[in-house]
């Protein structure tokens, strides 16, 4: 008896009986471990630093996780991912509206329009995170349309233009990191759709040639960030500070680390407290758990990304396959860049470490997207496209 037959006979309230055969437990276990690690270290950082702002971060994170958990449950058990085809264009339109609205109805924070503040609270929502998921869905819909071919210049150009609009708006906030991440996400989906190698070669060449052309148009701080990446000693007391202190924190952890809540780089303020629980939380994990703990965290991401790729392989249709590849790429790029920048292997970017870094918007979209993957995985034994 497959899932659809069982649902007709038993109803939604007996879905617990389907856990062993219908859920991707590799995803579930890796997500649980990553969330627990995140809350634990956010708690530890807050207790070490002190002050109401930092001490209560872990409680806010649990609230975000709880909300995201409900989204995961909804998409996993009560939502057919194929319905997203009909919602793809409205979701895209909403994402564009939010990206425009953030310039009008949000206040500048650190010279950037990136967040909506909810009421008078300190809770902030970042529309660029929502737009990434909306883009994955609309790209998956277009790529799965009968007759659409990524190897037709007109079709490919239209797809690129569709993605360039939100990418440009995000870059204008400015949030170059979130903007650039769209490129590999869309590229992975296009590659999965069967883009011929000659087009891949052309794109690589054009991309390489455009780098020196685009450099003069970067803002001064963006140019300086690139220069500091290659030479942190150029500005050790300012732009190079975080990268250098993060590298020291990671290296000082040794094999087994200094012990939970015994790290010194962030406690003493060498690694700025404003980033120790967000962009540079992996530095704290590495310092306190050492090489062993760092490898375990990386292993969990390998499991999570592998489960997303497996979902793409078993997807009953192209639409689900493209969504799974897009989500897998988001998690890969975020984890790769974030961990890389803490060891000075990548430029410093404001990309959170998935499911571990403090922050609500990415937690919500991450758990929602993982719930959609479960919806795809649970229907892997069917061939109905839902059209």
Contact in structure between 280 and 359 (CB atoms under 8 Å): no
Contact in structure between 348 and 225 (CB atoms under 8 Å): yes
Contact in structure between 376 and 311 (CB atoms under 8 Å): yes
How far from 133 is each of 88, 104, 139, 370, CA to CA, in Å?
10, 22, 10, 11
Specify the pLDDT at position 179: 84
> How far is 155 from 196, CA to CA, in rounded Å?
14
> How far is 183 from 6, CA to CA, in rounded Å?
41
Contact in structure between 30 and 307 (CB atoms under 8 Å): yes
Contact in structure between 266 and 273 (CB atoms under 8 Å): yes
Domain locations along the chain? 25-378
> How far is 60 from 62, CA to CA, in rounded Å?
5
> How far is 79 from 281, CA to CA, in rounded Å?
34
> How far is 266 from 48, CA to CA, in rounded Å?
9
Specify the pLDDT at position 111: 61
Contact in structure between 238 and 227 (CB atoms under 8 Å): no
Contact in structure between 175 and 222 (CB atoms under 8 Å): no
Backbone angles phi, psi at 109, to 5 degrees: -125, 120
Other C-beta atoms within 10 Å of 11: how many? 9
Query: CB within 8 A of 159, min separation 6: which ones?
Result: 139, 142, 143, 150, 186, 190
Specify the pLDDT at position 247: 86
What does the chain come to in residues? 387
Give the model confidence (pLDDT) of 343-360 as tens digits. Answer: 888 887 778 999 999 988
Give the bridge partners for 173, in sequence order.
none
Indicate the SS3 state at residue 263.
Answer: coil
> How far is 185 from 132, CA to CA, in rounded Å?
9
Contact in structure between 227 and 234 (CB atoms under 8 Å): yes
Give the model confidence (pLDDT) of 175-228 as tens digits. Answer: 777 888 899 999 999 999 988 888 888 878 887 777 777 777 777 777 777 777
DSSP 125: E
pTM to 2 decimal places: 0.87
> How far is 224 from 112, CA to CA, in rounded Å?
17
Per-residue pLDDT of the chain (387 residues; tens, 9 = 90+): 454 554 454 444 444 444 546 889 999 999 999 999 999 999 999 888 877 777 788 999 999 999 999 999 999 999 999 999 999 999 999 999 988 888 887 666 666 667 666 655 556 778 888 899 999 999 999 999 999 998 898 998 899 999 999 998 888 877 777 888 899 999 999 999 988 888 888 878 887 777 777 777 777 777 777 777 777 766 666 677 778 888 888 988 899 999 998 888 877 778 877 788 888 999 999 999 999 999 999 999 999 999 999 999 999 999 999 999 999 999 999 999 999 988 888 887 778 999 999 988 899 999 999 999 999 999 887 654 444
DSSP 112: B
Location of structure tokens 């590298």: 247
Specify the pLDDT at position 5: 54
Residue 11, Ramachandran bin (φ over 0: left; ψ between -120 and 50: alpha; else beta) = left
Average pLDDT value for the chain: 85
> How far is 383 from 39, CA to CA, in rounded Å?
40
């Amino acid at each position: 008896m497959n899932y659809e037959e069982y649902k007709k006979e038993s109803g939604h309230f007996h879905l617990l009986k389907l856990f062993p055969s219908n859920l991707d437990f590799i995803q579930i276990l890796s997500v649980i471990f990553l969330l627990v690690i995140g809350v634990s270290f956010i708690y530890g950082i807050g207790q070490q630093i002190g002050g109401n702002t930092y001490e209560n971060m872990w409680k806010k994170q649990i609230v975000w996780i709880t909300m995201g958990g409900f989204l995961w449950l909804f998409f996993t058990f009560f939502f057919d991912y194929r319905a997203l085809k009909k919602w793809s264009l409205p979701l895209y339109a909403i994402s564009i509206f939010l990206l425009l609205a953030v310039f009008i109805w949000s206040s500048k924070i650190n010279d950037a329009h990136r967040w909506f503040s909810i009421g008078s609270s300190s809770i902030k929502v970042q529309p660029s995170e929502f737009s990434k998921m909306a883009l994955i869905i609309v790209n998956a819909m277009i790529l799965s349309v009968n007759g659409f071919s990524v190897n037709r210049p007109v079709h490919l150009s239209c797809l690129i233009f569709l993605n360039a609009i939100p990418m440009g708006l995000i870059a204008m906030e400015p949030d170059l990191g979130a903007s650039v991440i769209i490129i590999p996400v869309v590229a992975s989906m296009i590659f999965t759709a069967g883009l011929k190698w000659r087009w891949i070669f052309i794109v690589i060449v054009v991309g390489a040639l455009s780098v020196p052309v685009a450099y003069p148009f970067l803002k001064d701080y963006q140019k300086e960030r690139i220069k500091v990446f290659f030479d942190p000693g150029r500005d050790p007391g300012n732009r190079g500070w975080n990268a250098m202190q993060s590298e020291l924190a990671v290296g000082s952890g040794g094999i087994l680390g200094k012990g939970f809540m015994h790290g010194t780089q962030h406690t003493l303020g060498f690694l700025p407290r404003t980033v120790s629980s967000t962009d540079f939380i992996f530095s704290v994990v590495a310092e306190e758990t050492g090489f062993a703990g760092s490898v375990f965290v990386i292993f969990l991401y390998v499991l999570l990304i592998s489960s997303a790729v497996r979902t793409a392989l078993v997807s009953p249709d192209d639409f689900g396959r493209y969504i799974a590849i897009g989500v897998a790429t988001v998690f890969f790029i975020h984890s790769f860049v974030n961990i890389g920048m803490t060891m000075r292997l990548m430029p410093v970017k404001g990309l959170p470490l998935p499911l571990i870094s403090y922050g609500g918007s990415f937690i919500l979209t991450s758990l929602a997207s993982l719930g959609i993957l479960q919806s795809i995985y649970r229907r892997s034994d069917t061939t109905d496209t839902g059209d």
